[in-house]
Amino acid sequence: MQTTHDTLFRALADPTRRALFERLCRDGEKTVGDLTARAGVSQPVVSKHLVVLKQAGLVRDRHEGRHTHYSAQLRALAPLIDWTSQMTGFWENRFDDLENLLKRMDQ
Amino acid sequence: MQTTHDTLFRALADPTRRALFERLCRDGEKTVGDLTARAGVSQPVVSKHLVVLKQAGLVRDRHEGRHTHYSAQLRALAPLIDWTSQMTGFWENRFDDLENLLKRMDQ
DNA sequence: GCGATCCATATCCATATGGCTATGGGTTAT
DNA sequence: ATAACCCATAGCCATATGGATATGGATCGC
């Protein structure tokens, strides 16, 4: 069985792949060429990583001529936030800032 | 280079390993035997997974006679929460419930 | 003391994974 | 039309990974 959490965590576990996603989050829509220029790996590798991110729902692609524009899909992170929330009991207790959360997490 | 996010995401990417951590979060401290009984894999495999979780800081172990008790270390999830927060712009905007966050994440 | 129990480590194996190069389809430019 | 460009797919390969079994050290019960 392949759960949503599986695909999400696995997609974000690889440093190269996570870096791609982070860049799309920070800098917005980018083409494969743009991403490849700073990824440190070859273009086919970037494409393969983008496939994985897309299958996890973390990115969207938009075709425009011979360019393919990719953008981050933040809503795909919802299960991850929900999971950590469940683990830490975050939402049940409705902490409203990081300080309190960290305090609670110190045991 | 091996970052904190790497070890965290990688540790949680495996379903068996994540299940172990989830169980420790829900049910509290457990021995290796307890965990093995429901893990669906052999005892050595459970031990190996626990090593990975421990190296990621996600669990603590306590030795008591021939038993080893493991427990979840919630504070280890902090970097993960921080990361998702940065990606979604959560903390900058100080949303106070999941509804608002989800709404914002719908593009 | 001795066997049984608990757990960690060692070894092995099959598969998954992440990188590369080669290639080809589609698109733009000349 | 043809060349150049962008990107995806197809192989290929080395390594990482998750599983199993075998074993051994430490501890408890008898």
Q: What is the DSSP string of A13-62?
A: HSHHHHHHHHHHHHH--EEHHHHHHHHSS-HHHHHHHHHHHHHTTSEEEE
Q: What is the DSSP letter of B57?
A: T
Question: Structural domain of residue A16, as residue ranges?
Answer: 4-73
Q: What DSSP state is assigned to residue A40?
A: S
Q: Pick the closest to residue B6 from B59, B80, B70, B74 (CA basis).
A: B80
- The pLDDT value given to residue B4: 92
CATH number at residue B32: 1.10.10.10
More confident call, A75 vs A52: A52
Structurally, how many domains does chain A consist of?
A: 1
The token pair that represents B74 in the structure block: 């919630």
Chain A: residue nearest B7 by CA?
A13
Give the 3-state secondary structure of residue B106.
coil
Instruction: Say if B78 falls within a structural domain.
Output: no
∠ CA A46-A49-A54, rounded to 5°: 120
How many CB atoms within 10 Å of residue A3?
11
Which of residues 52 to 81 on B have a Cβ less than 7 angstroms from any strand C atom? 61, 66-68
Q: Please name the residue whose C-alpha is nearest to the C1' of nucleotide D18.
A: B45
Is B8 domain-assigned?
A: yes
B90 vs B70, higher pLDDT: B70
Question: Does residue A26 sit within a domain?
Answer: yes
Does residue A39 have a pLDDT over 90?
Answer: yes
Is residue A22 within 8 A of residue B87, CB to CB? The reply is yes
Which chain B residues have a beta carbon less than 8 Å from that of A92? Answer: none
| pLDDT bracket for residue B107 (50, 70, 90) | very low
- For CA atoms A43, B83, A94, B23, the dihedral sign is positive
Residue A47 forms part of a structural domain? yes
Please report whether residue B90 resides in a domain: no
**Residue B100 in domain:** no
- Classify residue A64: in a domain, yes or no: yes
**Average per-residue pLDDT in chain A?**
88
Q: Does A98 touch chain B (CB under 8 A)?
A: yes
Report if CB B100 to strand C is under 7 Å. no
Closest CA of chain B from A64, distance in Å: 20
Give the whole-angstrom CA distance, residue B18 versus residue A84.
12
Does the pLDDT at position B96 exceed 70? no
pLDDT band at A107 (very low <50, low <70, confident <90, very high): very low
- pLDDT (0 to 100) of residue B98: 53
Q: Is the ipTM of this complex over 0.85?
A: yes
Helix axis angle for A15-27 and A32-39, nearest 10°, is 130
Does residue B87 sit at the A interface (CB-CB below 8 Å)? yes
Query: Is residue A91 in some structural domain?
Result: no
Report the C-alpha gap between B100 and B97 in whole angstroms.
6
